[in-house]
Structure 1
């Protein structure tokens, strides 16, 4: 396979245009660093003439030998995944760089599972600060790439406790900063309905799991975030709080559905008024 592309009488690195006036170099074949730097300099010169903006280099782990060369030519790290490193270079220094930074947030979910006996599904973790203080808490976890919030919280509850659940609604969310390697965090608290009762805890991360009476759950020593969690649970028991449920909508980016979380109860009442207004 050719490691370079032809552009007139000279060779440049193979690249594709992105949607923002830049190019993406996606190297897959082994390449000597001296050949690479020659092709890179020629390519950058050509792309400057074409008034390109940002140049991306996607380097798989097999081509880690090219990282130092790219950095010396002005490229910087943008982000990394287990199988590649992405570098970027703004090639028009007389203008401000508009390349967005790497992902600024991670997303976590918590599942408030309440059964017909007014018991809350709780766990104790095997490690971390909550383990050190012996805190009973609801199942929580990280949303995976490409995973919907409602699916993530159901998965986490199943993984940690073995309990099957269905998503009811989003109750609240928290925005915090300097959470994980300096990144911000969005935490979504969700109400789940249990579909099973027998607990089979996850041995790797969970020390214990059980159904706890709501009164006992509410009587725990708590911090302010847990205080609101309890108040929301109580409000749901009293049917005085309406959360947000997912409504499928068409996506801007792909031919697939995404989800808008909204207060369906009040929206449906408003929609009826809107239809009357339109008529």
Structure 2
């Protein structure tokens, strides 16, 4: 790869104020940080830099060209700390194609491609700084940076540039950077966790109940309905069926959401939505999950209701009252209906109830 000067009417490779000690310092630093071997020669129009090789662990795109300030209006003016060894009083440089691979989002922001990040920390730090400078000049808004677990060593470098934590998953951490002045308008991390409980009652008026192996002292000895959390991209109704199956081995069919609870500052200061679902049993032989469940059984409804912990707790008691009202057809829950919206073209689960005006009974699906 040759990095050569062009005429002033086009664009020069670089503009050196002093050819001598200052340029030598720059080349030395550039070679150290990016793993480039070079030879320099004096030409009629200035200094020519020829690179010989770049290792896989260093990053310098084979199409990269260094431009002087004022030669390319797509690049932003870089500060002296962007590239180690460059002194702004000596030389100012543009690195075209040393901008991080990214694409625009629909809100005027930028999403950095996590699959094309440089592995060399020096290269990443320099490219990130140059990229931010360019995106600021282009008046971009929010910058999204997803760093895979195997590149977690890049996190401190991004934080040093002003990035903030947004959220983390087992395989990555997401960081963001808000460019405009004023409050950040990027959407916050998820604010809720979603739980479900399954009310299952058989033809003998018995409720499927469990005792958990790991519970708080306040609920020790309580026979309760199977509960759990909804998985990512899982429906409420399928999650209820799954949790009952996992904890008790009982197959069920979803009927309705009979109530839901909303509470705040639960786990990790998140809010919690808990949906109580009514399910119809399709099998009756219990198989206990030994990891989570101490015991499970079919318990007469009357006995279930008389438990002191239920009678003494207004929340538990109200849920049981609603369930009994539903059994007596004095209450209708929310059944699920699959509907496609033209707004996003996706299938949604819409929960609502319909009452037959003739006899006042609930109409399900």
TM-score, normalized by length of structure 1? 0.90
Q: Deviations over 1:112-148 (max 9, x none)?
A: 0011111000000001216862111000000001000
Aligned residue runs from structure 1 range 185-264, under 5 A: 185-221=272-308, 222=310, 223-251=313-341, 255-264=345-354
2:113 is the counterpart of 1:26: yes
2:150 is aligned to 62
User: For structure 1, which runs of at least 5 residues remain unmatched after alignment?
Assistant: 270-279
The structure with the largest alpha-carbon Rg is 2
- Structure 1 distance, partners of 2:136, 2:333, is 51
Q: Deviations over 1:239-261 (max 9, x none)?
A: 11100001111146754311110
Which residue among 166, 182, 187 is the counterpart of 1:78? 166
- Structure 2 distance, partners of 1:130, 1:226, is 16
Q: Identify the structure with the greater strand proportion.
A: 1
SS state of the match for residue 204, structure 1? coil
Give RMSD over aligned pairs.
2.3
- Structure 1 distance, partners of 2:334, 2:250, is 23
1:272 is aligned to none
- Where relative contact order (Cα < 8 A, 6+ residues apart) is larger, the structure is 1
Which residue among 91, 103, 108 is the counterpart of 2:190? 103
The count of residues paired between Structure 1 and Structure 2 equals 268
- Structure 2 distance, partners of 1:204, 1:252, is 44
Q: Is this contact kept in 1: 2:209–2:296, CA < 8 A? A: yes
- Structure 2 distance, partners of 1:141, 1:3, is 50
Q: Deviations over 1:57-105 (max 9, x none)?
A: 100011011000000100011001110100001012x232111211000
Q: Is this contact kept in 2: 1:3–1:31, CA < 8 A? A: no
Aligned residue runs from structure 1 range 145-184, under 5 A: 145-184=232-271
Which residue among 11, 15, 38 is the counterpart of 2:126? 38
2:214 is the counterpart of 1:124: no
- Structure 1 distance, partners of 2:250, 2:107, is 45
Deviation at residue 194 of structure 1 after TM alignment: 0.3
Structure 1 segments (4+ residues) deviating >2 Å = 1-9, 26-30, 251-256, 264-269
SS state of the match for residue 95, structure 1? coil
Q: Deviations over 1:29-71 (max 9, x none)?
A: 5512111111011111111122111101100011011000000
2:225 is the counterpart of 1:138: yes
Q: Is this contact kept in 2: 1:124–1:130, CA < 8 A? A: no
Deviation at residue 26 of structure 1 after TM alignment: 2.6
Deviation at residue 264 of structure 1 after TM alignment: 2.4
1:112 is aligned to 199
- Structure 1 distance, partners of 2:343, 2:194, is 21
1:274 is aligned to none
Instruction: Evaluate the alpha carbon distance shift between residue 252 and residue 14 of structure 1 in structure 2; reply closer, same or farther with a 3 A threshold.
Output: farther
Q: Deviations over 1:129-181 (max 9, x none)?
A: 16862111000000001000000000000000000000000001100011111
Q: Identify the structure with the greater helix proportion.
A: 1
Q: Is this contact kept in 2: 1:3–1:13, CA < 8 A? A: no
